[in-house]
Amino acid sequence: MAYSRIYALAFIIGFIFTFPSISSFSSVHTISNAFAQEKAATDETGKIKATLLRPGGYLVEWRGVMGKGEVDTIFEERGENVIAKINNAALNQACERIVTITPDGVKMDGCNDINILLVFDPNDQEYPFKGEGQNNYYKFKVK
């Protein structure tokens, strides 16, 4: 009977000392997954940024309630920001807007539209960015 109590006590003590080690291993796994996801997102935003900053820029085809048209857009890096330089020759209008790069694409405002969300498609060599804003739909054609 005394031996069974000793074995039971040894089992409980062993469990108490082993359980924190097991839980710390599982948290390491969680940290590893979080790091891998963050690294993947960083890699994707790097690809998006590299594609945006192409020297030739884009011919942006837009259509919406007010009609359709095309504008020239070039992206450039200024310090820590990426800037869209938009030139609408048809309206003799130009503006610059700060761009936010996300793991899925780009957020920006245009000269006449706001909250433009563009999705990046790395497999589309002709139109790598497509999306919509508050008033229009957009397709960014490589120049």
| Pairing status of strand 58-64 against strand 81-88 | unpaired
Q: What is the DSSP letter of 89?
A: G
SS3 label, residue 59: strand
State the pLDDT at residue 36: 43
State the pLDDT at residue 97: 98
Amino acid of residue 36: A
CA atoms within 13 A on the CB side of 1: 0
* Rounded Cα distance, 127 and 143, in Å: 10
CA angle 128, 112, 98 (to 5 degrees): 60
Dig out the tokens for 75 from the structure: 């992206």
Tens digit of pLDDT per residue, the chain (143 long)? 555 555 555 555 555 555 455 445 555 555 555 444 444 445 779 999 999 999 999 999 999 988 999 999 999 999 999 999 999 999 999 999 999 999 999 999 999 999 999 999 999 999 999 999 999 999 999 99
Dig out the tokens for 65 from the structure: 């309630």
State the pLDDT at residue 64: 94
Q: Are 120 and 51 in contact (CB under 8 A)?
A: yes
State the pLDDT at residue 5: 58
